[in-house]
Amino acid sequence: MDKSNFTSFEESLLLLTGVKSQLEAAVKSLTGKDRGEDEDLQWTVSNHVQILLCSFLDEWKIFQSLGKDTAIRDTLEITSPALRRIRSWTGLTRIRSTLLAHGQRKIDGKPAWTWDVFNSNKSPTAYAETILLGQLAILVIRETLKRHYGDYHHAAQRLSQLYIPIKGQGLRTVGEANAVLNSIRAEMSEIAERISCLNNEPAKKRYLP
């Protein structure tokens, strides 16, 4: 068999595994001491989890479509309580598409104000609920991989043989990044001063954030 020729079932198992890895990393980032009390971190991670939940639901629809097989139908039945909880939040995709992934604009290009979108869609605003949904998605995927371990294991082995290292791109250290940031900040300030002079504006000290 061609190593790159995965069945639809194998593809779904592999992609669900990828979502699981990202969800586990997101949830784990808040388990350290004092991290759960960091509101900025909570907000950032919760947003990321909601995006990943939508990815999970999209892939789960594909997995569900393969349910002609008895073993898959059994998996769908076993995991249904967790899916029921996740899917009860019917506004997840709307929040992802409007607020989190596409710059707070509607399809027609008009601004989508946060309060309007949340108040007109059922999507969690509480941090604990969002993390719970992430944990439920992880639980579902783990159960699925456990029940179909043989298929997943063989597919993962073939996938590992196709792996090509990802080339490194971008700065590697905080020091390098800060140096570039300061250089660009200075360049922007110089441009602003030059424009002020050309427009005969009074000189003023600029304070960039």
Where residue 175 falls among pLDDT bands split at 50, 70, 90?
Answer: very high
Answer yes or no: is pLDDT of 169 > 80.
yes
Secondary structure of residue 111 in the 3-state scheme: strand
Nearest to 203, CA basis, from 72, 36, 192 = 192
Q: Hey, where are the domains in the chain?
A: 8-89+124-162, 171-209
Where residue 206 falls among pLDDT bands split at 50, 70, 90?
Answer: low
Quick: pLDDT tens for 115-161: 887 877 888 888 889 999 999 999 999 999 999 999 999 999 999 99
DSSP-assigned beta bridge partners for residue 105: 111
Secondary structure of residue 105 in the 3-state scheme: strand
Give the span between the Cα atoms of 160 and 42, in whole angstroms. 34
Vertex 152: Cα angle to 147 and 139 (nearest 5):
50
Q: What is the mean pLDDT of the chain?
A: 88
Quick: pLDDT tens for 71-102: 999 999 999 999 999 999 998 888 888 878 77
Where residue 3 falls among pLDDT bands split at 50, 70, 90?
Answer: low
Nearest to 56, CA basis, from 22, 9, 19 = 19
The pTM of the full predicted model, rounded to 2 decimals, is 0.84
Residues 6+ apart with CB under 8 A from 156: 14, 17
Quick: pLDDT tens for 32-77: 666 667 888 888 888 899 999 999 999 999 999 998 889 999 999 9
Q: How long, in residues, is the chain?
A: 209
Nearest to 73, CA basis, from 82, 59, 81, 63 = 63
Nearest to 31, CA basis, from 16, 41, 21 = 41
Give the span between the Cα atoms of 98 and 108, in whole angstroms. 11
